[in-house]
Amino acid sequence: MKITIGIKKDLKKFFSKIKKKKLYLHEPFFFGNEKKYLNKCINRNAVASNGNFHIKFENAIKKFTGAKYCVLLCNGTSALHIGLQVLGVGKNDEVLIPNVNYIASATAALYLNAVPNFVSIDEKSLGINVVKLKKFLEKNTIIKKKGLYNKKTKKFIKAIIPLHLFGYPCQIDEIIKLAKIYKLKVLEDAAEGFGTLFKKRHVGTFGNAGVLSFNGNKIITTAGGGALITNDKKLALEAKRLANVSKINHPWKMSFSAKGYNYRMPNLNAALGLAQIENIKKVLKYKKVIYRNYKKIFFNNKYFSLYKGIKNSNPNHWLITILLNKKYIKYRDYIIKFLISININVRPVWDPMTKISYLKKYPSMKSDNSIVVTQKIINLPSSVYLYKFFK
Ligand SMILES: Cc1ncc(COP(=O)(O)O)c(C=O)c1O
């Protein structure tokens, strides 16, 4: 097919420099103190919650992101769960969630018996469509004493979870403005955005709290892990307590104050994280080199465009992405299958939340262009080590 021939030619040019048989989407890199720190943990018998890598990694995250507080957790999903809970989301409360999303935001709301309400995204930011959000809030809600009331569903909307998709910032400044007017709590999903800046500020620090993920496929990894970052001391302390099964703070007494969760990050994972974060500036530089090289090859391509992000953003380029031109959407699956067959691992984005069978019953925006946007997206191999081939 003509389109695959065109794409194959471009990609071949790009990948001809790379001496690797198979390209994965995003592989972890280990070129720092990883082994040294992991050995230290094992030699000192400090693999679980004891040991000082925990504190060191937390401090490094605070310094790098500019957040005042950081709570290390076992993954990003637990950070979303605890984050919503400390922001006061509970049974029957609605949570606004972008329709193009990983499943974790919706499930975190459901863990709390809250109700996800899916909002449209726009093609420019790949995040919440601010124009549609504003119209929705103006038309469908009233600000009452108890909070923001949804006239249609007769429920209170407590929070919004803006997402910085693939490490590219959404219109977070505009979303924060609306959240302030409509008294919404903001939990930023920056799981994919470690190292991403918007208006020179780290994503995840605009809202009441932000979520980070250090899963194996992220820009830096702790194997599995995550964090909640915030500037609010009370929120941070409450999150820490919940993540530590609400154990009372006492030198030797063993008791618990309320229902909590076992969501702490073990010291071994924090050791890995510290070694990784020590190289974050280098990694971000390498990702820019990779992005620039994709840009050179795909400049003026007639089938698709390379996603570049919105104005004022400095993305981490976690997953470098192409958007097929509308005319070629119908070839998406064909292109993906073809590239995988030649060992170039690419990926479509997740199905929109409103297409997932068990989520269909929840409220969502009516005229939603998110589905068309998702059909355009293909993520390209974006592993850090690729930079070596473009030096
Ligand atoms: C956008 C987004 N949110 C949340 C998560 C959840 O993170 P984790 O896999 O660490 O639970 C992920 C990641 O994997 C993600 O991509």
pLDDT of residue 14: 67
pLDDT of residue 4: 63
The ligand 1 atom nearest the CA atom of 189: 3
pLDDT of residue 1: 60
Q: Which tens digit of pLDDT belongs to each residue from 98-110?
A: 999 999 999 999 9
pLDDT of residue 388: 87
Regarding the beta carbon of 75 and ligand 1, being less than 6 Å apart is answered: yes
The ligand 1 atom nearest the CA atom of 78: 11
pLDDT of residue 11: 67
Measuring from atom 12 of ligand 1, which residue has the nearest CA?
A: 191
The one-digit pLDDT tens for each residue of the chain (391 residues) are: 665 666 667 666 667 777 777 899 999 999 999 999 999 999 999 999 778 999 999 999 999 999 999 999 999 999 999 999 999 999 999 999 999 999 999 999 999 999 999 999 999 999 999 999 999 999 999 999 999 999 999 999 999 999 999 999 999 999 999 999 999 999 999 999 999 999 999 999 999 999 999 999 999 999 999 999 999 999 999 999 999 999 999 999 999 999 999 999 999 999 999 999 999 999 999 999 999 999 988 888 889 999 999 999 999 999 999 999 999 999 999 999 988 998 889 999 999 999 999 999 999 998 778 899 999 999 999 999 999 887 6
Mutating to test ligand 1, I would choose from 187, 192, 194, 228 the residue with most ligand atoms within 8 A of its C-beta, which is 192
pLDDT of residue 300: 81
Regarding the beta carbon of 215 and ligand 1, being less than 6 Å apart is answered: yes
Regarding the beta carbon of 226 and ligand 1, being less than 6 Å apart is answered: yes
Q: From the CA of 319, how far away is ligand 1's center (Å)? A: 13
Q: From the CA of 370, how far away is ligand 1's center (Å)? A: 20
The ligand 1 atom nearest the CA atom of 77: 11
The Cα–Cα gap between 22 and 42 comes to: 33
Q: From the CA of 214, how far away is ligand 1's center (Å)? A: 8
pLDDT of residue 5: 61
Mutating to test ligand 1, I would choose from 166, 196, 213 the residue with most ligand atoms within 8 A of its C-beta, which is 213
The Cα–Cα gap between 375 and 171 comes to: 22
Q: From the CA of 225, how far away is ligand 1's center (Å)? A: 10
Regarding the beta carbon of 102 and ligand 1, being less than 6 Å apart is answered: yes
pLDDT of residue 104: 98
pLDDT of residue 217: 97
- pTM beyond 0.75, yes or no: yes
Regarding the beta carbon of 191 and ligand 1, being less than 6 Å apart is answered: yes
Q: Which tens digit of pLDDT belongs to each residue from 310-336?
A: 999 999 999 999 999 999 999 999 999
